[in-house]
Chains A and B, each alone.
Chain A
Amino acid sequence: MVGKMIVANVLHRPIRTIVSILAVAIEVGMVLLVVGMTSGMLNESAKRVEGVGADIMVQPPGASFFLGITAAPMPIKIADRLKEIPHVQAVAPVLLQFNTTSGLNLVYGIDMKTFDEVSGGFVYFDGGPLKNPWDILVDDWYARSNHVKVGETLNLLSHDFHVVGIVEHGKGARLFISIETAQEMTGARDRASIFFVKCTDPGYTQNVLNAIRKLMPRYQVLSVKEYMSMMTSNSLPELTDFVNTMIAIAVGIGFLVIFLSMYTTITERTREIGILKSLGASKFYIIKAILQEAGLLAIGGIILGFIGTFLVHRAISAYFPTLPVDLTMAWRARAAVLAIIGSLVGAFYPALRAAKLDPIEALGYE
Chain B
Amino acid sequence: MESIIATQDLWKVYRTGKVDTPALRGVTLEIQEGEFVAIVGPSGCGKSTLLHLLGGLASPTSGKIFVEGNDLSKMTDSERTRFRRHKIGFVFQRFNLLPTLTAKENVELAQHIHGNGFNPHRFQMVVEMLGIANRLNHRPYALSGGEQQRVAIARAVICEPKILLADEPTGNLDSENSQTVLNMMRTLNRTLRQTLLMITHNPEAAAVADRIIHMRDGQLIED
Contact = CB atoms under 8 A, between A and B. Distances in A.
Residue with the greatest number of chain B CB neighbours at <10 A, chosen from A276, A279, A282 = A279
Given A5-B100, A8-B101, A360-B57, A282 B108 contact: no
A16 interface: no
B100 A9 contact: yes
Interface string B96-121: 11111100010011111110000000
Contacts of A4: 101, 105
Interface residues of B, number: 29
Main secondary structure of the interface of B (DSSP, over half): helix
A4 B78 CA distance: 25
Interface string B155-190: 100000000000000000000000000000000000
Interface string A1-41: 11011001101100000000000000000000000000000
Contact of A1 (B52, B86, B112, B155): B112
B100 A12 contact: yes
A2 B112 contact: yes
Given A4-B105, A360-B52, A281 B57 contact: no
B32 interface: no
B216 interface: no
Nearest to B95: A275
B82 interface: yes
B84 interface: yes
B52 A5 contact: no
B36 interface: no
B58 interface: yes
A279 B101 contact: no
Contacts, number: 73
B98 A272 contact: yes
A2 B111 CA distance: 11
A280 B84 contact: yes
B90 interface: yes
B92 interface: yes
B109 A279 contact: yes
Contact of B81 (A1, A12, A280): A280
A285 B96 contact: no
21 contacts: A1-B108, A1-B111, A5-B98, A5-B100, A5-B109, A8-B101, A12-B100, A272-B98, A272-B99, A275-B98, A278-B57, A280-B81, A280-B114, A281-B85, A282-B78, A282-B81, A358-B58, A360-B52, A360-B57, A363-B92, A363-B96
Given A5-B100, A11-B100, A277-B57, 8 more contacts: A2-B112, A4-B101, A279-B85, A280-B84, A280-B85, A359-B57, A360-B52, A363-B96
Interface of A: 1-2, 4-5, 8-9, 11-12, 271-272, 274-283, 285, 358-360, 363
